[in-house]
Amino acid sequence: MSSKPKTLRWLILTLVAFFIFVVLQVPAAWLISKFYKNNQTLHNVNGNIWQGSADWKKGNLRGSLNWKVRPLDLLLLRVGAHVDLHSGNTQLSGIMAYGLNKSLIVKNLEGQIAPETLKKLADWQWPSTAIQFKDLDFKYKKEQGFSQVTGQMQWAGGELIYTFAQRQERMNVPAMTGKLADESGQLLVDVRDSRDQRMLNIKLDPSLMLDIQLTQRFLMNAPSYEGKAGLDTYVISTRQPLMGGLN
């Protein structure tokens, strides 16, 4: 008698697994055309839900996308995939998932964001070398913001070109590293030089507004800067939407 419930359970599990397998074979292009009728972002979609690729365009940014679904994430009530994202010299690779509670989960994100990409995201004077990310994890939900943030950031430094008093200036910035964390729903990046001295402070709030604060120590690398303050004092702050360049 006890073998019947076990047989029924195995039958149900087999049917569920078969259903998932069938769904994953659905062509990705058909799915997008069916449920994303106003799609202006993804083009040249190839493959199926399980594994595929596409070209993407958002604002003045464009690139390619590859994915491979992680079926076991469905047991955690979320859709997850290993994703590779490219845009020019920008390359990012990691695990991304979206849960039923409308939360975005990112794990093991690594790669680099090239200066030309940063320039399109926010019209600031970005470094002339790529910003490297390693072991970046975070969870984001619109109402609560960021949580469970860990990771590292590196910048090799180099020449920074900026405009001051209607003339072009150059700044030689030292190599810097940053540690990522979260506080009160904000994603924080504490950026320091090779001697562990404070240089920048970066904050990204739940509404994806980006705040950058520059210390006196950082600004002293600019030949034309004449301000006086404690070396760890934040003397300049900027604020604007993170995704402003994608509108």
Is 161 among the domain residues? yes
Of all residues in the chain, the percent with pLDDT exceeding 90 is 52
Rounded to whole angstroms, the Cα distance separating 35 from 25 reads 16
Is 36 among the domain residues? no
| pTM to 2 decimal places | 0.81
**How far apart, in Å, are the Cα atoms of 4 and each of 8, 17, 18, 69, 201?**
6, 20, 21, 34, 63
Is 179 among the domain residues? yes
pLDDT digits (tens, 9 = 90+) for 45-60: 998 888 999 999 988 8
Give the pLDDT confidence score for residue 207 in this predicted structure: 94
Is 209 among the domain residues? yes
| Domain span holding position 151 | 102-246
Question: Count of domains in the chain?
Answer: 1
Q: What is the mean pLDDT of residues 227-244?
A: 87
Is 233 among the domain residues? yes
Give the pLDDT confidence score for residue 165 in this predicted structure: 64
Element (H, E) at 139: strand 131-141
pLDDT digits (tens, 9 = 90+) for 98-137: 998 999 999 999 999 998 888 887 666 777 899 999 999 9
DSSP character for 115? H
Is 158 among the domain residues? yes
Is 131 among the domain residues? yes
C-beta of residue 240 within 8 angstroms of C-beta of residue 122: yes
Residue 161 has a CB neighbour count (10 Å cut-off) of 12
Residue 211 has a CB neighbour count (10 Å cut-off) of 15
Is 64 among the domain residues? no
